[in-house]
Structure formats: C-alpha cells, structure tokens
Amino acid sequence: MAINNPYQTYQQNSVTTASPQELTLMLYNGCLKFIKLAKRAMDEGKFEAKNTNLIKAQAIIQEFIITLDQDIEISENLAQLYEYIHFQLREANMKNDMAILEEAEGQVKELRDTWKEAMALVKVK
C-alpha cells in the first residue's frame, strides 16, 4: 500500500483547482525555478543537471508559444519575445554562458511580474 506524500497531494490539488491565470503564473515561477537550478548547476560544473533544468525551462517557454491566442494583437510580439528567450536558453546551455542565462532569467522575471500585476488589476475590478 502506497502512502501519499501530503506535499505532493497539495501540489497536485493546487494545479487542478487553479484558474488559467494562476496556472500561467505557476508556469512562469516554474521556469524561473529551473533557470535558478541550472545556474547553480552551471556554477558547480554539474552539466547534466544544468542541461536537464534548461530543457525544462525551454519546454515551458515552448508551451507559452504554442498556447498563444493568435487572435489577440499582442500575441505576435509575445511570440517573438518567447522565441528569443527560448533561443537564449539554448545558447546558454550550449555555451555554458552565465551572462546569457541571466539575461533570459531577467526577461522571464519581467514577464512574470507583469502577469502578476495584470492579475491584481483584474481582481480589483
């Protein structure tokens, strides 16, 4: 008989009960977590861990690209920004370049913070 991990159960419930807006925020936070883990692994010379975490971050950015609503005017600009971030993550991974990775991290943070502000504005109305 398997014993459920309470933290894992909580995480699963958080995802299944979250609104689409909250899920987007969770994805931004997840991407930042994977970038942070990749930076740490890069510092420690753990290239397999760096690669694994950067691939996870890239997958999140790809998901953002795929799920953009092309009927919304800003989607084209967001797609270009996401493509650039995805490119930076690949370059940082291939070249082990911390500066490129930090630039990508800054862009993801800015997108996440903007998303949080938008969510707060919608709640106020």
Domain membership flag for residue 6: no
What is the Cα 49 distance to its own chain's centre? Answer: 17
> 45-66: per-residue pLDDT in tens?
999 999 999 999 999 999 999 9
pTM for this prediction: 0.86
* Structure confidence by residue, pLDDT tens digits, 76-116: 999 999 999 999 999 999 999 999 999 999 999 999 999 99
Q: Other C-beta atoms within 10 Å of 45: how many?
A: 9
User: Cα dist. 56→35, 77, 105, 117 in Å?
Assistant: 9, 23, 14, 25
Structural domain span for residue 97: 18-124
Task: Domain count for the chain, please give it.
Answer: 1
In a domain, 48, yes or no: yes
The CATH number for 42's domain is 1.20.120.340
